[in-house]
Amino acid sequence: MTTGLISNIQNYSIHDGPGIRTTVFMKGCPLLCAWCHNPETQVFTPEIVWYKDKCMGCLTCIEACPKDALTAGKNGIKLDMEKCDRCGKCAEVCPTGAIAMIQQGEHRRPAVAEEICIGCGKCEYLCPVRPISAITVNGKEVHV
C-alpha cells in the first residue's frame, strides 16, 4: 500500500484557474516554490500551524505553552521555533482550532486499494507535484 500525508482538504476551490474543484494539500512537497501559499506543507515532520482567520485572540495557546515559544504580536501569534518542542499543548487548548498540529496519523492519507486498482497510472499523471511525481505506479501486467 502506498500512502501520503494530507495536511488539508479544501472544498470549493475557485482560485488559480477556471472552475470549481477540491484541493488536496500534501505534506512533504519537495518543490519549495517561491510563491507557495502553504509553506507548512513543505516538510514531512509534525508542525504547528496558525490560522489567522480562525483566531479569536483569546491567548490561551500562549498560556498553555510550557516553553514560552508563543507570543502575541500586532499581526497575530508568533512561534519561536528555537524554543518550541512541538508538544502540541497550544493546539489542545485552542477553542477554535486556530493553532493545529499537522502530523502523521491525525490527517487523512490517500491509500491505494490494491484489490481494485487497475494500475492505469492516472493518479501518477494527475499528481500536482512536478517535475518529480509524488506517486509512482508500477503498472500491472493485465488491466482488468
47-94 pLDDT, tens digit each: 787 888 889 999 999 999 999 999 998 888 988 878 988 788 999 999
Domain range summary for the chain, segments of one domain joined by +: 1-45+105-144, 46-102
Does the structure show a pLDDT above 60 at 130? Answer: no
- Report pLDDT for 132: 56
Does the structure show a pLDDT above 80 at 7? Answer: no
Q: What's the whole-model pTM score?
A: 0.48
User: What confidence tier does 106 reach under pLDDT thresholds 50, 70, 90?
Assistant: very low
Greater model confidence, 88 or 137:
88
- Report pLDDT for 105: 46
Q: How many beta carbons lie within 10 A of that of residue 72, not counting itself?
A: 13
Close Cβ partners of 132 (under 8 Å, ≥ 6 residues apart): 30
Pairing label, strands 21-26, 76-79: unpaired
- Report pLDDT for 117: 74
- Report pLDDT for 18: 83
E-strand ranges in the chain read 6-13, 21-26, 47-50, 70-73, 76-79, 99-102
Residue 66: C-alpha distances to residues 97, 114, 118 (Å): 19, 45, 50
CATH number for the domain running over 46-102: 3.30.70.20
Does the structure show a pLDDT above 60 at 144? Answer: no
Stretch 27-38: mean pLDDT: 73
- Report pLDDT for 134: 59
**3-state SS class at 47:** strand
Rounded Cα distance, 52 and 37, in Å = 14
Secondary element (H or E) of residue 124: helix 122-126
Copy the grid coordinates of residue 114.
Answer: 490494491
Rounded Cα distance, 92 and 6, in Å = 20
Greater model confidence, 138 or 97:
97
